[in-house]
Amino acid sequence: MAEASLPHRHFIVHKPFGYLSQFIGNPKNKKLLGDLHAFPAGTMAIGRLDQDSEGLLLLTTDGKMSEYVRSRKVEKEYYAQVDGRITPEAIAQLQQGGLLITHEKQPYQTLPCQARALTPAPAFPERSRRVRDDRHGPTSWVSITLTEGKNRQVRKMTAAVGFPTLRLVRVRIGNLHLGNLASGEVREVESFELA
CB atoms within 10 A of CB 21: 19
Catalytic-role residue among 50, 62, 83, 133: 50
What contacts 135, CB < 8 A, 6 or more positions away? none
Is 133 catalytic? The answer is no
Inter-residue contact 50 to 18 (CB < 8 Å)? no
Distances (CA, A) of 129 to 25, 125, 175: 24, 11, 29
Distance of CA 183 to CAs 14, 31, 111, 171, 187, Å?
A: 5, 14, 30, 12, 12
> Which residues are known catalytic residues?
50
